Structure 1
Amino acid sequence: MLPHVEALPYQARRRFEVLQRLQSYRGQGQYREEEAKAAQELGVSLRSVKRLVRQYREQGIAGLQRQPRSDEGQLKIDETWRAFILKTYQQGNRGSRQMSRAQVAKCVASHAADIGSSDYPSRRTVYRVLAPVIQHQEQNQKRRSIGWQGDTLKLTTKAGIEIAVEYSNQVWQCDHTPADIVVVDRQGDILGCPTLTTVIDTYSRCIMGLHLGMECPSAAVTGLALRHAILPKQYPSGYEPTNLWESYGVPQYLYTDGGSDFTSSHIDQLASRLGIVLCRRRRPAEGGIVERPFGTFNSEFFSTLPGYIPRDAKVSPATINAEACLTVEQLEGLLIRYIVDNYNQRPDARDRQHSRIVRWRSGQMAQGVPPEERELDGLLMCQHRRRVYQGGYIRFANLIYRGEYLAGYAGAEIILRYDPRDITTVLVYQPQDRSDVFLTRAHAQNLETERLSLAEAKAISRRLREARTEITNQSILSEIRDRLQFIDALTAEPSTAASQAPSTSGEDAPRVDATEPESSITHKPLPPIRVYDYEQLRQEHGL
């Protein structure tokens, strides 16, 4: 085959091959027979083969290609119908209204029936007329993102409601993502990648609250993130950032996607109780405001920590697991400091003169009093149903809990509400017809001064089962303290360890009985710990 023939379409190359073979029989007695075979191979009539032979002799290879029409690409449509199609589409997409191409085609058919015309544009013709208009609109949307400098950001919900974002705490957005980092428990065993849930104020782009945990996205996780965003921020020891996380409050709208973690009855109950209007996005692509910070966290924060999982680099899982050393609590503390002291202090691209937190502060309307924490506990915390055992104790996550007045509810069904990041204290509710009544707080015995997450409690229980050890509060507490002492010994300075080591070459060296079992060493018993219910004390004293 000639080199310049290779660029031809397949059909033209096939014709060239067949005609080349046919030309070799020219002037022979078998020509008519080969001519019939050529027509059969090409799937055309004998007359068409003769026409192709004539074109090939006169024009060469160009005669074998399909000649384009002179009016190719031009729509044969009356200008009146073209104007009607464009006008219908433009009027059908004004304001919050939306009209698709298929609806315009139906309007064309309806208008043709009204005027008694049987010759009207088909659905395909309508699509071709509207194609340049729709393509131009899509290019304009890509050229400039919504809400840029000097513009008023307008969000359109799935129901067609248009919201003009004009002040802080007007529209909040919430979403989940797996954090690109591997975390461990306090023993150092791999837990996996935690889930990060963020709540963002649309007006200021300020991070209002978050939740970081090992739970999969759910309505309960969404509630915990909203609880953190609504209430004024409080931090455990070691979490204190330099600046204040001032943002809190109750939004007017909650703008999310249509996932089950945002459309459940739990979230509907929360919204109706707090007066929040739930709105759904029309398309997944309209969630850039809440999804964009995830990329910033990965590139600026998670990528600087051990255990980071780069998406574009080929790193073996064994290497990543070997480097992972952060617990969920440690990672959350670092993330809070990054958000408060870094992310919220920087200006957004729409307003380079003010930081996100300053824009949130200046965009506030009348800031109301936040809801009571007990009200949010009833709505936003994870919950499980249990029964009170004789003696007034409860079992949950292989732990035993006791609380005030629970002895009088032996055998009763109760509801436990808790924060999975710390299950040493749970809230006990009694189910009623329409609402749950708060009874008391229950504390895990012997763990009142500890902090234990649900994921860590499950990991400790798994290790105790593998060691065939009875799982009790005391065994879990012993495992925690032994592990912490072991880690402290590993991280101690070598010089300190050497100075405290006994000398083996001297008369004053202490004598150690190697046969003495380790279990015979007596430890000083811990003093009894009394736990106060500060909420009960505040109510009794009228504070």
Structure 2
Amino acid sequence: MVSQLQQRNDYSFADYSNSCWLIDFASLDISIVDTNGSVIGRPYLTTAIDIYSQCCMGFFLSSKSPNYQAITQALRHAILLKRYDSEYNLRHEWRTYGIPVGLQINNSKLANSYLLQDKLAQLGIRIYYPKTGSGLNNSFTEKLFSELNRYLSSDFLSNQISTDNNSFLTLEVLEKILVLYFVDNFNQQIHNDSSHQTRQERWQAGLNSAAPKMIEENLLLTLLS
């Protein structure tokens, strides 16, 4: 297990797509309700971001604070091929997938979970730890969560939720909104260092092989249960 753990204090090693993903967490500035309309509170979002392309690879949404299961669920979503039916009203496809070489997790307690480390080792995924005192360079995800919260609080979105869902913003409804945001908005934005490529285009162009490393879906679901 120790061989799977490495210390890194920057992202210079993330020089191609799926070389390293950043797992981060946020409490969204919006309240959700259950199917009866009773307020549950603010939901928690766990995202997997490909550091090289800045693409959102996948996410997990929950009413519970971040834990080990939030990481494994976000990874399952990020690794697998993603297909959505017409009810999501998507203009683009979420084409990113595959198994990353490494992960950085913006929560040292969760990153030190032996159960998580064991499951990642079985997938051949390394956990990259920042050097002591260096901290994670999480300014990008802080900006992402800030922009997402502004999007969720916009008048247009509020009116759409009220019209389409009788003012009930459940986890299921919010999940559809987040899929739409990441697929048609966030991943289609121009990458900071590549003025002619969107994030999704940069991910595709930055693959280090003909196709991303994959695993049979049922086996992945078993490993990341």
> What TM bracket, shorter-length normalisation?
0.7 to 0.9
Instruction: Name 2:168's counterpart in structure 1.
Output: 325
Spell out the pairing of 1:97-496 with structure 2 (5 A cutoff): 158=7, 163-235=12-84, 238-282=87-131, 283-284=134-135, 286-299=137-150, 301-304=151-154, 305-306=157-158, 325-366=168-209, 367-381=211-225
Q: TM-score, normalised by structure 2?
A: 0.84
Q: Which runs of 4+ in 1 moved over 3 A?
A: 157-163, 282-285
Please give the alpha-carbon distance, in whole angstroms, between the structure 1 residues aligned to 2:85 and 2:114.
Answer: 32
Partner of 1:33: none
Q: Aligned partners of 1:341, 1:193: CA distance in 2, in Å?
A: 24
Query: 1:286: Cα distance to partner?
Result: 1.6
Higher share of residues assigned helix: 1
Aligned to 1:522: none
The C-alpha deviation readout for 1:405-441, integer Å capped at 9, x for no partner, is xxxxxxxxxxxxxxxxxxxxxxxxxxxxxxxxxxxxx
Evaluate the alpha carbon distance shift between residue 220 and residue 306 of structure 1 in structure 2; reply closer, same or farther with a 3 A threshold: same
CA contact (8 A) 2:47 2:60 kept: yes
RMSD of aligned residue pairs (Cα, Å): 2.3
Larger Cα Rg: Structure 1 or Structure 2?
Answer: 1
Structure 1: distance between partners of 2:102 and 2:45: 21
Which moved further from structure 2: 252-261 or 242-251? 252-261
- Kept in 1, the 8 Å contact 2:106–2:136? The answer is no
Rounded Cα–Cα distance in structure 1 between residues aligned with 2:174 and 2:206: 31
Matched residues in 2 for 1:306 and 1:162: separation?
37
Q: Distance in 1 between matches of 2:41 and 2:149?
A: 16
Structure 2 vs 1, CA of residues 281 and 290 (structure 1 numbering), >3 Å: closer, same or farther?
Answer: farther
Contact 1:258 1:281 survives alignment (8 Å): no
The answer to whether the 8 Å contact 2:102/2:128 transfers is: yes
Aligned to 2:162: none
Deviations 1:192-235 (A, max 9, x none): 11100110001110000001111220111100000000000133
Q: TM-score, normalised by structure 1?
A: 0.36
Code of the residue aligned with 2:186 in structure 1: it is Y
Q: Give the secondary structure class of the aligned counterpart of 1:279.
A: strand
Write the distance in 1 (CA, Å) between the matches of 2:11 and 2:168: 47
Question: CA contact under 8 A between 1:256 and 1:281: conserved in structure 2?
Answer: no
Q: Distance in 2 between matches of 1:259 and 1:357?
A: 29
Contact 2:99 2:213 (C-alpha < 8 Å) held by counterparts: no
Which sections of structure 2, spanning at least 5 residues, go unmatched? 1-5, 160-165
In structure 2, how many angstroms separate the alpha carbons of the residues matched to 1:325 and 1:364? 41
In 2: Cα distance, 1:159 partner to 1:336 partner: 31
TM-superposed deviation, 1:160 = 6.3
Separation of aligned partners in 1, 2:170 and 2:106: 30
Is this contact kept in 2: 1:169–1:249, CA < 8 A?
yes
Residues 345 and 356, structure 1, Cα contact 8 Å, conserved in 2: yes
Structure 1 residues 285 and 245, CA, compared in 2 at 3 Å: closer, same or farther? same
- SS at 2:57 equivalent: strand
Identity of aligned residues (%): 33
Query: Alpha-carbon deviations, 1:146-169, whole Å to 9, x = none?
Result: xxxxxxxxxxx7466985222101
Bigger RCO of structures 1 and 2 (CA < 8 A, at least 6 apart) = 2
Shift in Å, 1:174 = 0.5
CA shift digits 1:2-27 (9 cap, x unpaired): xxxxxxxxxxxxxxxxxxxxxxxxxx
- Aligned in 2, Cα 1:340/1:159: closer, same or farther, shift over 3 Å? closer
2:136 and 2:12 map into 1 onto residues whose CA distance is 17
Distance 1:276 1:285, change over 3 A: closer
Q: 1:369 to 1:238 in 2, by over 3 A?
A: same
